[in-house]
Amino acid sequence: MATIREVTYDILRAHGLTTIFGNPGSNELTFLDSMPDDFRYVLGLHEGVVLGMADGFAQATGRPAFVNLHAAAGTGNALGVLTNSWNAHTPLVITAGQQVRSQVGTEAMLSNVDAPFMPRPLVKWGAEPLAAVDVPRTISQAIHTAATPPTGPVYVSVPLDDWRQEAGPGAEHLPGRTVAAGGALAPQQVQDLAAAIDGATNPVLVLGAGVDAARANDHAVALAERLRAPVWVAPSPSRCPFPTRHPLFRGVLPASIGGITRLLDGHDLVVVAGAPVFRYHQYEPGEYLPEGASLIHLTDDPAEAARAPTGRAVVGDVAQALEALAGAVTAVDRPAPGPRVVPEPALDDVAPLGPATVFRTLDDVAPDDVVVVKESTSTTSVFWELADLHRQGSYYFPAAGGLGWGMGAAVGVQLAQPGRRVVAVIGDGSANYAITALWSAAQYRVPVTFVVLVNGTYGALRSFTDYMGVEKAPGIDVPGIDFVSIATGYGVAGRRVASRDELHQAFHDSLTSEDPTLIEVPTASVNPFA
């Protein structure tokens, strides 16, 4: 009879989960023993990097990724990055090794007492099978739970002695199981929503990361063009749901109640798709909507729908909803709003280079299908003003704002999309959280271009001191770090640039290389609230 370990590998193979992201400990060795040849193991030197790589891989493929962590300590190291996975609805199957069953109750070394509760509330579901024979079914349940809308991370703890036990009767059925999600809007729902939209005088669309995740950008464009409605991106976007050079694109909404209401003033209907209503950050009280406006919320997440403070929510498949509405609403002949006017930024010739110079230079050199993974929070507003993002899956950002995700995520996205080039734009404060991702990139020859913007401070945090009226706070500056030397130590070629011309050449050389590279750019600080 097959062992539990053998059946589990069969289940993983059946779902295409043949890449394992991990950092092993003793509790995991019995699972990893004699790993099948058709599986690959991607090692990260810190569990935060491991989870970041898996997160980027899962978001880029649109399918669950498999993670193997070490007991409680490894799980704890990954929790910071898991905040982003939870908010991004990333489908992750996270497993962790447990002590042998007979020693868990005595809290022997490397026991994880109450293991399923440790990552909550950052997972959809967590479990530790009550008996070894139930491990394969639990893994199967985890995969289906992670992949079923609303997608998200799940967690399974497995005692190390379970893997060598014999699988029970019926385990052979598990690899062939499928779970298909419905969630399509009923025809009457589509008609009712279309009638509400048709009845609006001046509707506006607000799109979130869920549109890009659902591969529904083209449907969003079709709906916007049929309505001739302006399009905003929901606050703090972790993906790009609409072409940024489209004439109907207006930009990214601020993450404050009052700020959103001011920008949406004059619209009588706000249609939100694939985003919460809304993910606020800085506190600026006010009315949730402009006077006289109503809101329609399209989401696949019942929790997002339930907690929204205003609006009429419909829970279902976001892609299907947008496609159906694009075909059901009445095409209007109202004048389309003119394209937004973006002033041409002043560009620097020598370092320190402004973020606008960096992003404009990247746009000049990068291929048409470049993917940007960004974790430089203080430069986000500048980036969105200049970005030319027009393809599906071209932008990724930490969904919860938690640092330490970006460098690993860039490696994961590049592994998932070998036919596209990935550029990771990372702040110097962020880079230190996950710098060991460079080792993984070097070892597996993942040709990411890591761009580290060095201004010697936590730029977003420094801006918040002014916004919040904080006169003086410690721990905001991070000077004196040589990222080129660090990259070299991890096996990644690095170079520091001193001018725009040097940056242009560095981008060209990196984007034509088959190996990862790091470009250190001395950068001027900017205020994202200015």
Q: Quick check: 439 and 45 in contact, CB under 8 A?
A: yes
Contact 496, 488 (CB under 8 A): no
Written as one string, the DSSP assignment of 99-120 is --HHHHTTT-TT--TTGGGTTT
Which residues are paired to 232 by β-bridges?
206, 251
The single-letter code of the amino acid at 421 is: R
Question: What does the buried/exposed string (b/e) look like for 416-446 if buried means 16 or more CB atoms within 10 Å of the residue's CB?
Answer: bbeebbbbbbbbbbbbbbbbbbbbbbbeeeb
Angle between helices 355-365 and 500-511 (to 10 degrees): 40
Q: How far apart are the first and last CA of the chain?
A: 67
What is the spatial order of strands in the sheet that 422-427 belongs to? 395-396, 371-375, 422-427, 449-454, 517-522, 493-496
Q: What is d(CA 420, CA 283) in angstroms, rounded to the nearest whole number?
A: 39
One-letter amino acid of 519: I
**What number of H helices and E strands is found in the chain?**
20, 18
d(CA 159, CA 96): 9
**What are the distances in angstroms from CA 197 to CA 192, 206, 276, 329, 331?**
9, 14, 20, 7, 11
Q: Which two tokens stand for residue 32?
A: 């990893």
Nearest to 19 by CA among 59, 54, 51: 54
SS3 assignment for 128-193: CCCCHHHHHHHHHHHHHHHHCCCCCCEEEEEECCCCCCECCCCHHHHHHCCCCCCCCCCHHHHHHH
Half-sphere exposure at residue 173, Cβ-oriented, CA atoms within 13 angstroms = 5
The C-alpha R_g of the chain, in whole angstroms, comes to 24
Could you list the active site residues?
A: 25-26, 28, 47, 70, 281, 401
Q: How far is CA 73 from the centre of its chain?
A: 24
Which two tokens mark 485? 């030397």
Reduce the DSSP state of residue 337 to 3 states and report it.
coil
Query: Residue 41 corresponds to which amino acid?
Result: Y
DSSP at 28: G
